[in-house]
Structure formats: C-alpha cells, structure tokens
Amino acid sequence: MDIGSVPWLGPLLLVSLWASSAPASLLRRLGEHILRFQESSALGLGLGPDSVTLPKEGWLEQPLDPFNASDRRSFLQRYWVNDQHWTSQDGPVFLHLGGEGSLGPGSVMRGHPANLAPIWGALVISLEHRFYGLSIPAEGLDMAQLRFLSSRHALADAASARLTLSRLFNVSSTSPWICFGGSYAGSLAAWARLKFPHLFFASIASSAPVRATLDFSKYNDVVSRSLMNTAIGGSLECRAAASAAFAEVERRLRASRGARAALSVELGACGSLERAEDQAELLGALQALVGGAVQYDGQAGAPLSVRQLCRFLLGDRGNCRGNGSGPAPYRGLRRAVQVVTHGLGQRCLSISRAETVAQLRVTELQVSSVGDRQWLYQTCTEFGYCE
C-alpha cells in the first residue's frame, strides 16, 4: 500500500474543519490542535529521501466484543509502524498505546518510544484506542455500541494486537515487547503489563493516574505550582495575577446584567452569559486555557505558553492593545483568550452548555470529532476524572 502522501490529507482536513465545528472541551481541542500541528510538520522533518514510505499505516480486524466468543462482529483498529531502526527480528518492539484521541504517524516518529528506538534497534508500533480517531466501529457511538468501550476492551485489543502483529512482522519469539503510554494510556500500559506479563516484558507508564478519584482538583494544584515555576517563566506574582483575573471574572458574572454583557463581549464569548450553566462553561473554558498553557507548555503548535500567559497577566505586553476597562490581570486574561481562540481558528469562545450537550449527543461518526462523547462516557462509567 502506498502511504507516502495519503495519511497527510487527513490531519490537514481535520484542522480546517475544526474551525467551524461545534464546541468541544477546550483542553481536548488544544491537545488535538497541537497533535495535528506537529504531525503536519513532522513528515518533512528528520526524514531522509529513502524514508518516504515511513511510517506505515495498517489495520487490524478486532472483535467488537472480545469477551463473547459467539459475537462475531468486528471493527477495524488502526496502527502505525516505524521499522526504520529495527535491524534484527530479535530486536525489541515498542508498543505505543493510544489513549482517548486519534493517533497519527507522529506517534511512531516522535516521542519517547521513537526516541529510544535507535538505541535499542526497536520496532515501533502504535495502536489507536478503539472508538477514537479512525478506529471507531462503523455502527457509530450510540449507547448499544459504547458498551464495547472500556479500558478492559482496550487491554484485550492490546493483547490481541500483540499476537497478530508479532506474526505479521515475523517478530522473534524472544523479542521483548514493551508498552508505552501517557496519561490514561499510561494507565493502560501499566495494566497491560500486570494483566499480560507473558506478552509484555515491561511497561513505561508516564503520568498515569492509577488510582481513580472523583475530585480531580489536584490537577489545579499542579497547574498552580507551574504558574509559579520560574524555569518556565512563572512567578509568585503570575500565580497571584491568575487568581486575581479569575476573581475579577467571577465578580463580573455576579455583578449585573450589564456587567455580564460587557464580559461576554470583552472575552469574545459566542453568546450571552445569563444562564448559570453557560457561566460554568465559561469558567471551565478559562480554566482549560490556563491548564492548557501549562500542560502543553513549550510544545510546537501550542498557542499559549506559561511565559506568555504570565506576561499577559502581569500586564507588561500586549495589554496596551487590549485597551479595555478593568485591572491588569483581567485584561491579560482577555488577551490570552484572544490568542488561544485565534490560534485554534475559532471565531469566538464557545460557552453554550446547550451546544456542548447537543454535540455530546451526536452518535454518528464525524470527521471533526475529537472524541468528547467517548471520553465523557469512559470518565462516567469507569474513571470519574471530573476535571
């Protein structure tokens, strides 16, 4: 199969569609945006003329219900392969497990497993998580289908992919398979090793939450500490300014109808802020904006870094252009919102709970989906990560 140019159209198309797509959680949208950005620039980078066929995309037919042998239904699960460094069939295999999002070719070309591959002569394979990206069963995302979405299903996929791919690539039976994953996929990597020690020699689980917790406010503690971290442009003052900016937004939300109308205009919100649920969406979006600056700090394609956010909040650049009323941290937050909305190619900041819910109800496959419905389902049925 000639995959030289085909895989690149997908990501580019997605980027252009997002601009007009319905709301999605800002943090997830940022993550996808950054991923796409990196992948659309990754192929040109670091690949010699003889590596045009890299990486390879493939599909595995997997049982929809791996726990019921009489259920014959199946779906296609996507994987990517980078065999550039794999010089011997006895070499190790680094299996990069996907999490709650799509996986592109960059998943085997960049990042931890890809970086380690040359040293170990490893074959790098990434496996997209069922129900995300292009590995969604054709029947769609209604509740009857979502029954087949869980970490247990994903682990069964990993085990079966390990066996099939091993045959497909003629991997030596003595080759160690090592799982890699980050965040939720990091948990999967750890569980894969625990559950299938005969299949996976080791796992590298990065930032893996392994203890489920309902109140996930510790995330904010980490964000808060990062805003004070001078190594990335943070400071005590920045942390205080972020607090002040949020306090100011909350004050305006409570103040009066006029203050709320002005707030909506000043933050470039897509609609009015009269409903409590929309106010909550706004605060969630602003929180995601700050969390996103921390979480994706320094990554290519991230619209806002911690250093830049702190500069805005502390009022020493960009704010002269904001030219509005209100204290410096608030004006800085406005500027940060502008930068992020613009960076994501959005007309305005989405704050409508009704639109969010309508979008979450869509069960048909959508090319522009970032997997919000599936991830919300997983957080509600399994994890309770209530960010």
Ligand X SMILES: *[C@@H]1O[C@H](CO)[C@@H](O)[C@H](O)[C@H]1NC(C)=O
Which of 89, 207, 230, 381 is in the footprint of ligand X by CB under 6 A?
Answer: 89
Question: Could you identify the residue written with the tokens 């830049």?
Answer: 308
* Shorter beta-carbon distance to ligand X: residue 131 or 148: 148
The CA–CA distances, whole Å, from 217 to 209, 229, 333, 372, 377 equal 13, 19, 21, 20, 20
* Shorter beta-carbon distance to ligand X: residue 11 or 66: 66
Which of 41, 53, 172, 230 is in the footprint of ligand X by CB under 6 A?
Answer: 172
Which of 70, 174, 217, 325 is in the footprint of ligand X by CB under 6 A?
Answer: 70
Is beta strand 177-182 parallel, antiparallel or unpaired with respect to 93-97? parallel
Stretch that binds ligand X, among 35-43, 75-83, 222-230, 317-325 (CB under 6 A): 317-325
Q: 112 to 171, contacts with ligand X by CB under 6 A?
A: 170
Stretch that binds ligand X, among 112-120, 180-188, 319-327, 334-342 (CB under 6 A): 319-327
* Shorter beta-carbon distance to ligand X: residue 5 or 323: 323
**Cα gap 56→95, rounded to integer Å:** 14
Amino acid found at 165: L
Those residues whose C-beta lies under 8 Å from the C-beta of residue 323, and which sit 6 or more positions away, are: none
Residue 68 binds to ligand X (criterion: CB under 6 A): yes
Compute the least distance from the CB of residue 268 to ligand X, in Å. Answer: 16
Under 8 Å between Cβ of 23 and 362: no
Residue 323 binds to ligand X (criterion: CB under 6 A): yes
- Strand order through the sheet with 123-127: 56-63, 74-82, 123-127, 93-97, 177-182, 202-206
* Shorter beta-carbon distance to ligand X: residue 68 or 272: 68
Compute the least distance from the CB of residue 157 to ligand X, in Å. Answer: 18
Cβ neighbour number for residue 294 with a 10 Å cutoff:
22
Amino acid found at 201: F
Element (H, E) at 278: helix 276-295
Binding site for ligand X (CB under 6 A): 68, 70-71, 89, 170, 172, 320-321, 323
